[in-house]
Structure 1
Amino acid sequence: MVRRGGFHSFWRDFDEMMNEMRAEMEGRFQSLLTETGTGHYLPAIRGEGLRVDVCSHEDEIVVAADLPGADRENVSLRLVTPRLLEIAAIQKQEKEGEEEGYFMRERVYGSMKRTVSLPAEVTEEGASATFKNGVLEVHLKKVEVERGTLIPIE
């Protein structure tokens, strides 16, 4: 990058550099997909990722996640810490004989993963999860957490 001078020139140069970096990364990502045998398909979730709702009730946290196209057998949940829940899913593509004949192909396949921050500490004891019509709903029991240390009085 050659700096030509002036404040506006700096931002123009910066934008050019960012565009070059973006093009380079997209090229590397596309070649990685080709090398791994996944063809031209991108990961199932791009941008903001898997959509979730987190609701806090008096004694539980409810997390609802949209997992369109995923089967229940390909969904996994893991309580990473008392305040972090990991949701992972795989959307498998049905193998079709020919790639030709498609006018448009927007549906994507691959893996999705998201770690969700929870508004309170929870425990895996008593947790339950359901998966219906592509929507995962997880119920987690809140844990009473005492803050601080008791100091004995003499």
Structure 2
Amino acid sequence: MALIPFEPFRNMDGWKRDFDRMFNDFPAFFRGEQQFGSHRIDVHETDSEVVATCDLPGLEKKEDLQIDVQGTTLTLSGSINRANDVKEEHMHQRERFFGRFQRSVGLPSPVDEEGVKATYRNGVLEIRMRKLQPPPKKQIDIEFH
């Protein structure tokens, strides 16, 4: 009689893959769009502007993306369309995002909504926003008796 080693976790990889596929970005399922996970945004500031950089691979035309700036909030929304040339039953792992997305981030300082410049190159979106200059402080005259 041959002995076969017992490996209790041998099938766990398949379970994990199925579980990840079923619950990938689960809250976004109810909204029909992706809120978190794939589209990460880096935000930094210089002396004169706030710069946001976001990886958005798969955009095909600028009409698929909308950028909104209100006060100190930057919102990106749009859709990424991918041809589904592989049947679902043949797919073993799906990590590339397609569909509608929306993402909002807070900005470190107020920006000029009219002075926003966006550039999309090689799947990376860069948004440059001029900082609003605070109004000069006004000296209040005091009546002294």
TMscore range, shorter length: 0.5 to 0.7
* Alignment counterpart, residue 80 of structure 1, candidates 54, 70, 74: 70
How big is each residue's C-alpha offset from its partner over 1:26-84, in whole Å with a ceiling of 9 and x where there is no partner? 6xx69x77xxxxxxxx855654x521111100101111011122233311100122x11
Q: 1:43 touches 1:109 (CA, 8 Å); kept in 2?
A: no
The gaps in structure 1 that reach 5 residues or longer are 1-25, 34-41
Q: 1:87 touches 1:114 (CA, 8 Å); kept in 2?
A: yes
Q: TM-score, normalised by structure 1?
A: 0.61
What is aligned with 1:21?
A: none
The gaps in structure 2 that reach 5 residues or longer are 1-22
Cα distance in structure 1, aligned partners of 2:33 and 2:56: 13
How big is each residue's C-alpha offset from its partner over 1:80-125, in whole Å with a ceiling of 9 and x where there is no partner? 22x11111121113254x7266242403321121111111110122
Count of residue correspondences: 116
Q: 2:75 touches 2:103 (CA, 8 Å); kept in 1?
A: yes
> Secondary structure, in 3 states, of the residue corresponding to 1:54?
strand
List structure 1 runs of 4+ shifted beyond 3 angstroms: 42-47, 146-152
| 1:127-142 correspondence to structure 2 within 5 Å | 127-142=116-131
Q: TM-score, normalised by structure 2?
A: 0.64
Structure 1 121/109 Cα, relative in aligned 2: closer, same or farther at 3 Å? same
> Secondary structure, in 3 states, of the residue corresponding to 2:63?
helix
Q: Which moved more, 1:69-78 or 1:132-141?
A: 69-78
Q: Identical aligned pairs, as a percentage?
A: 30
Structure 1 126/45 Cα, relative in aligned 2: closer, same or farther at 3 Å? closer
